Structure 1
Amino acid sequence: MFGPGSRFHAFFNDPRWALAIIRATVLEAAHPQVGAALVDSSTFVTHPWRRLRNTLVSLQRMFGADDEVRHREAARLNRLHTRLSGTDARDRPYDAMDPEVRAWVVATVFESSVTMCRLSGQPLDQTTMEQLYAEFRAYLAALDGDPGRLPATVQEFWPYFDRVVEDELENTEAMRVILYKLFDHLPAPPLLQGLPTMWAAGRAIVGPLIGVITVASLPEPFRRRAGLPEMPGAQTLMQSAYLAAGLARFLPDGLLQTESVAKLLTLSPDSDDPRARTIGALRDRMKRAGALVRLLVPLPPEPEADGATEPPWRAEEFFAAVLDQTGDGYVDWPDLAAMAREIAGRLDLDEPEETRLYDAFAGWWRELQAALDTDGDGRVSAREYAAAVPTLAGPALIRVAEVLFDVTDTNGDQRVDAHEYRALFRRGFRRDMPGTDGTYARGAFVRDFLSFMSGRTRSTPYDPLFADA
């Protein structure tokens, strides 16, 4: 069911799967409970590349051959989803641990994988389809402990899928964001942030096309009921996109590896990875070409990094780039929970370290709320933050720094060594690293964290940790 011999493993590096996953995500977001959780707690709009990398890592762990890794990842996902519950805009409860909702998420990926093959002219035969379905039911069993939330056979699956589409899916806010906002405003991945004009020019063309292709691929009854407009020629465009992606099967084996592509896109430009230096040289050449693009495409100029030390954060800029993780214009608990979630994922924390980290961020949220929430609405606006002292660094934030150091210092020697540093920041020590013994002392670590999180300094390792897309 798992490992290199599975059907899922073959799909994982299939370029068509990118289209299928976007389609599956839209179908997930159209479920009222999933849509509400995404709007309230997800960072997929403001940090899409970070979310993509984390999702791919999770899928690899769950579908890999190592049972112990799969069990640990399932436990981590369950702890994560246990923290996601609330009510939507219509006061309907949602819970990310709802078994029926979790089954629907798995169902959308299976159905979109089957649809992907059909639309690209390579429909799955019955035996292969049944094997793939068994793998997804095994995934649900590993995650939830009960594969029975999905029908037992492929034949029974299709009536189930049609019923959910017809009776439960809605035109949710999260679905509209994915279709009409996410790709039109997709921030550049870290590696391409030095080419803003060329990225904006490409995004202006590709973004709307992805939306059109995705809408055209959705089940026709749902498109009608949700009032999703379909442009003339959309079906032809959609089928052409799937067929073109399917031609990638003729490329040499190993040329397109999902993991390698994702790592490359999320590679920080100042990383010590040799690939970053190679692509840095390529970017210099592309910047020259960018001068020509500016003459042809009427886009507003955007600032480009010149390698010099950047000025301190402005309060509004720090609020938007760092504190407002969900991008809704406010800071509340989901934003700080997203920070804790990212750190816990990078360090692959188990209990009780993960709970210690979340508790520390929860304490910081209470401190921020008490100090900055002047209108008592339970959240902090950009105006409230800018009007207060943006260098706030009280006891709760100090506690966050101390806990972060503790969970990073895995060997407990009160210093962060090169291996521990890379696990958190995904890059090696900088040349200007404090200390002379090749480690990061507790005092320096805490001081740098407080300086960054209070908005006093930038261009630190924490920029890509919390601010990058």
Structure 2
Amino acid sequence: MAIIRATVLETAHPQIGAALMENSTFVAHPWRRLHNTFLSMQRMCGADDAVRAREAARLNRLHARLSGTDARDRPYDAMDPHVRAWVVATLFESAVTMFRLGGQPLDQDTMEGLYREFQEFLTAMGDEAGHLPATLQEFWGYYDRVVDEELENTEALRVILYKLFDHLPAPALLEDLPTVWAAGRAVAGPVIGAITVASLPESLRRRAGLPDFPGARTLTQGAYLVAGLARFLPDGWIKAEEVAGLLTLSPDSDDPRARAVGAVRDGVKRAGALIRLLTPIPDQREPAATPRPGRTAEEFFRTVLDQTGDGHVEWPDLAAMARELSLRLDLDEPEETRLYDAYAAWWKELQTALDRDGDGRVSAEEYAAAVPGLAGPALIRLADVLFDATDKDGDQSIDADEYRALFRTGFHRDPAHTGSAAYSRSAFVKEFLSFMTGRQRSRAYDPLLAQG
């Protein structure tokens, strides 16, 4: 809840809101975004200085690629030190609020120690500590000023509060239980939205015209109090990063947690089937559809190519793919740049072939009217670059560990049929091209690029 609240406060800043709407996958792939956020926080807040420095360098490279102008022609730049300071400020203030609403308010000394740690977080990113006030006492004046003078009712804020919660896609492990997920979301979505709104600063709620539902503040405090009771559970029972990782696991993963959740999911499905048998309702089920080897052009466009979920394919969509792959493989700067360059070349190839009206982007109609199976030299080159990045030991094959690093799923290679448990360059390139041109689904690439 604190992360959601901090995210809303971030998106209310016009520069951050514009950067998110133009470049982020938080609408189409929220679970992936959540998992990656926790992974980054783990690296930045861990005890290993080398890991922290490596992650800070990765974040700086990511932010350096995010700049442009918003709908009102105002510039945004993710490397703006004042903007980055606001992100850290929202995390600190939301943590303090979380403790307060959860019935365990921080004393002054603890709060000051926590504030120093967040200042160090900013310093680790290479920014001057002075972009945040030097003392905690000065921080509250800075925080109130930004809320009162700089935050707006941005499009990104409205999307989170009024669209994302109501249309949140099911996590990978629950995708085959759409009715159960939709029923739970119909109840939980509005509640989460009301709790988040009620926890925001009053001046922001008033200026953004956010509704103040009767009893919402009481509900908010109650929700935080209930969540705060988790501190009485045994150590290790609930860890946010473990929950986030669980939600992004593929059903095909060989992770023991995936098998356990899969067993529960199968039990729910059997219970549902039993209820249908006992319920005297005429059977109106349609014949089971045979599995399709591929997707329709519209489905492939929506689930794979349109990573940002805005209805068009532009460079930020392909950059999002490069960003996800770079994070999965924990690439260094040279390899990461090579992968981004390969995606940039593929974008130029797509633009040339599919952008019929010359508006600099590809619509679903333009894609469907062209040849969905398009596989030009740039896409083939991209497959080769991705293979090289995945093949860490350079032996021209991908073993089980390298496979899991990329896909987070089981190593589905049958030596009886392939002749080798390794994954050769030709096999890798063939499967990647088949997936990226919409010719066939893939239980490896679907969780990587298609699922939320």
Same fold (TM over 0.5): yes
Query: 1:339 and 1:293, CA in 2 relative to 1: closer, same or farther beyond 3 A?
Result: farther
Structure 2 Cα separation of the partners of residues 93 and 304 of structure 1: 54
- CA shift at 1:278, angstroms? 2.4
Letter in 2 for 1:237: L
In structure 1, the residue matched to 2:431 is 448
In structure 1, the residue matched to 2:236 is 254
In the alignment, is the contact (CA less than 8 A) between 1:189 and 1:266 conserved in 2? yes
Question: Could you tell me the TM-score, scaled by structure 1's length?
Answer: 0.92
In structure 1, the residue matched to 2:332 is 350
In structure 2, the residue matched to 1:438 is 421
Which deviates more from structure 2 when the two are superposed, residues 250-259 or residues 21-30?
250-259
In structure 2, the residue matched to 1:129 is 111
- 5+ residue gaps in structure 2? none
Deviation above 4 Å: which 4+ runs of structure 1? 291-296, 301-306, 431-434
In structure 1, the residue matched to 2:353 is 371
Which of 137, 140, 158 lines up with 2:122 in the alignment? 140
- Name the SS for the 2:375 alignment partner: coil
| Mapped pair 1:225 → 2:245 | no
In structure 1, the residue matched to 2:8 is 26
Q: Percent identity?
A: 72
- Name the SS for the 1:144 alignment partner: coil
In structure 1, the residue matched to 2:72 is 90
Query: 1:275 and 1:220, CA in 2 relative to 1: closer, same or farther beyond 3 A?
Result: same
- CA shift at 1:277, angstroms? 2.3
Query: 1:117 and 1:275, CA in 2 relative to 1: closer, same or farther beyond 3 A?
Result: closer
The count of residues paired between Structure 1 and Structure 2 equals 446
Query: 1:118 and 1:332, CA in 2 relative to 1: closer, same or farther beyond 3 A?
Result: same
In the alignment, is the contact (CA less than 8 A) between 1:198 and 1:290 conserved in 2? no
Structure 2 Cα separation of the partners of residues 110 and 366 of structure 1: 41
Structure 1 Cα separation of the partners of residues 198 and 270 of structure 2: 38
Query: 1:305 and 1:380, CA in 2 relative to 1: closer, same or farther beyond 3 A?
Result: farther
- CA shift at 1:294, angstroms? 12
In structure 1, the residue matched to 2:193 is 211
| Mapped pair 1:149 → 2:128 | no
- 5+ residue gaps in structure 1? 1-18
Structure 2 Cα separation of the partners of residues 333 and 202 of structure 1: 35
Structure 2 Cα separation of the partners of residues 42 and 435 of structure 1: 38
Query: 1:158 and 1:430, CA in 2 relative to 1: closer, same or farther beyond 3 A?
Result: same
- CA shift at 1:432, angstroms? 4.3
Which of 185, 188, 191 lines up with 2:173 in the alignment? 191
Structure 1 Cα separation of the partners of residues 436 and 121 of structure 2: 38
Structure 2 Cα separation of the partners of residues 440 and 289 of structure 1: 39
User: Residue by residue, what CA displacement relative to the aligned partner does 1:258-283 show, whole Å, maximum 9, x if unpaired?
Assistant: 22212211111111222222222211
In structure 1, the residue matched to 2:140 is 158
In structure 1, the residue matched to 2:292 is 310
Query: 1:295 and 1:111, CA in 2 relative to 1: closer, same or farther beyond 3 A?
Result: farther
Which deviates more from structure 2 when the two are superposed, residues 279-288 or residues 51-60?
279-288
In the alignment, is the contact (CA less than 8 A) between 2:413 and 2:422 conserved in 1? no
- CA shift at 1:38, angstroms? 0.5
Letter in 1 for 2:266: D
In structure 2, the residue matched to 1:37 is 19
Query: 1:411 and 1:329, CA in 2 relative to 1: closer, same or farther beyond 3 A?
Result: same
Query: 1:333 and 1:293, CA in 2 relative to 1: closer, same or farther beyond 3 A?
Result: farther
Which of 250, 263, 270 lines up with 2:245 in the alignment? 263
Structure 2 Cα separation of the partners of residues 191 and 295 of structure 1: 27
In the alignment, is the contact (CA less than 8 A) between 2:293 and 2:439 conserved in 1? no
Structure 2 Cα separation of the partners of residues 252 and 354 of structure 1: 41
Structure 2 Cα separation of the partners of residues 66 and 305 of structure 1: 52
User: Residue by residue, what CA displacement relative to the aligned partner does 1:237-256 show, whole Å, maximum 9, x if unpaired?
Assistant: 11111111111222112110
Query: 1:122 and 1:304, CA in 2 relative to 1: closer, same or farther beyond 3 A?
Result: farther
User: Residue by residue, what CA displacement relative to the aligned partner does 1:10-59 show, whole Å, maximum 9, x if unpaired?
Assistant: xxxxxxxxx11111100000000000001000000111111111110100
Question: Could you tell me the TM-score, scaled by structure 2's length?
Answer: 0.95
In the alignment, is the contact (CA less than 8 A) between 2:413 and 2:423 conserved in 1? no
Structure 2 Cα separation of the partners of residues 28 and 302 of structure 1: 46
Q: How does 1:280-359 map to 2 (within 5 A)?
A: 280-290=262-272, 309-359=291-341
Structure 2 Cα separation of the partners of residues 275 and 221 of structure 1: 44
In structure 2, the residue matched to 1:467 is 450
Structure 2 Cα separation of the partners of residues 395 and 451 of structure 1: 14
Q: CA RMSD in A?
A: 2.0
